[in-house]
Amino acid sequence: MRRFMIMKVAGLAGTLVAALAGMFVLGASSLVPEIARADGEHLVARAGDGQAGFAVNAFLPEQITVAVGTTVRWDFPWWEPHTVTFGVPQVGAPPATASGSDYDGTGFHSSNLLFGPGESYAVRFAATGTFDVYCIIHPGMVGSVTVVEEPGTADTQESLDRRGLEDYDRELALLEAQAKAWAARPIEREVLGDGTTRHTVYIAGETPKGDVQTFFPPFIEVALGDTVRWRSVTVTGHTVTFGPFPEGIPRAGNPAVDNRSVPGETYRGAGYWNSGMMGLDLPSGTNFEMQFGTTGSFYYYCIPHVDQGMTGAVRVTEDGAVPSTPIPAATPLPPATGGGLSEPAGGPAWLGVLAVVIGLMGAGGWWRWAVRQRGRVTGGR
């Protein structure tokens, strides 16, 4: 694995944060692909992809060879946000470069942080060489573009599509294998001193190039008075959130996302309950517990990954017996009702993701996490 320039100098953290903040301000309107050029060809690759419960955070394919003058457009087909970035952020430089602009291998050249589906970003390669490309928020998402003089040695669209599909299938299979193993584990239950039971739900499954966006188990039945403990064993941050996301307050850097919210001793089907950003090395730690003080079926979700299918439900009965009717398989998107079974509210959840990313960056947490993860990915190289 290559060691990319973005991780070589920790002192660039402040510049990187400023660049990312600018990317949010610019928005997607500056990123309309401009690949209609009279000179050279253009090719299409993918920046990440996924399916419900899984995010593959990889350039597809990771290595591309093009002839000088070729424009490469990266499409963003999945909800997980990414950047297409070359070089190191420079103080005073624009935080993002217009789609379709020339890149000659020097300076900082990057898209905004783009939330698919439907987004894309193009780069025209104006000089020969091999150029590292990476996603600013996913340390394992790296690749390269080799620009050559002779088009005969360059990729065709067919070869890019074939290798991109191979890379995607390989990474997805690794994630699916982890999910299958976690789903097969028996639920951990512990009888407490007061006679109630604590049930453990795991947040698990990730590779250097992807995340499993699932709770294990996603649906659980408990008795009135029981406790559910969510335990994260991932570096990637997730939340366990019941109730609607608070409206009328800023989401960027919002403590309602990053911090824990426990408005009572027991959950009675109402209010905003949130674990905060849980994960290895993250401020909210790896465990979150809720005791349930009323019967009913209650949906919860992960704020940054709800639109990727990361939702769950707890059904509380008088005695904890498994009811004859299953929990309806609805997908709760914020804002949810918080009490009982809610229908999907609709709308994108990207604002929640934005709040998570900016909040972590503002605290310096993302940079420290990225450096640690880069060490895991590269083996310390």
For 277-324, write each residue's pLDDT tens digit: 999 999 899 999 999 999 999 999 998 899 899 999 999 999 866 555
Task: Spell out, as residue ranges, where the chain has pLDDT lower than 70.
Answer: 1-40, 93, 246-254, 320-381
136 and 236 together in one domain: no
User: Is the residue at 381 inside a domain?
Assistant: no
pLDDT for 212 equals 97
Radius of gyration of the chain (CA): 22
pLDDT for 299 equals 97
The model carries a pTM of 0.76
Kind and range of the H or E element at 49? strand 42-51
Provide DSSP, 316-350: EESS-PPPSSPPP----PSSP-SSS------S--H
pLDDT for 293 equals 97
308 and 223 together in one domain: yes
User: Is the residue at 307 inside a domain?
Assistant: yes
**Residue 271: CA count within 13 A, CB half-sphere:** 13
Contact indicator for 316, 223 with CB cutoff of 8 Å = yes
* DSSP symbol at 342: -
202 and 125 together in one domain: no
pLDDT for 279 equals 95
Give the Å distances, CA to CA, from 323 to 4, 56, 172, 189, 222: 53, 36, 34, 19, 11
Query: Of the candidates 177, 196, 226, which is a domain's last residue?
Result: 177
261 and 113 together in one domain: no
User: Is the residue at 304 inside a domain?
Assistant: yes
Contact indicator for 299, 336 with CB cutoff of 8 Å = yes
Contact indicator for 277, 283 with CB cutoff of 8 Å = yes
36 and 116 together in one domain: yes
- pLDDT digit string, tens, across residues 121-179: 999 999 999 999 999 999 999 999 999 998 889 999 999 999 999 999 999 999 999 99
**Residue 176: CA count within 13 A, CB half-sphere:** 9
Residue with token string 């599509």: 161
150 and 264 together in one domain: no
- Phi, psi (5° rounding) for residue 173? -60, -40
Contact indicator for 236, 305 with CB cutoff of 8 Å = no
User: Is the residue at 373 inside a domain?
Assistant: no
Domain count, the chain: 2
279/289 Cα distance (integer angstroms): 14
- Phi, psi (5° rounding) for residue 184? -80, -10
* Cα distance between the two ends of the chain: 8
The total of other beta-carbon atoms located within 10 Å of residue 94's CB is 15
270 and 319 together in one domain: yes
Judging by DSSP bridges, how do beta strands 219-223 and 311-317 pair with one another?
parallel
User: Is the residue at 325 inside a domain?
Assistant: yes
**Could you tell me the CATH number of the domain that includes residue 225?**
2.60.40.420
The parent domain of residue 164 ranges over 5-177
User: Is the residue at 374 inside a domain?
Assistant: no
User: Is the residue at 96 inside a domain?
Assistant: yes
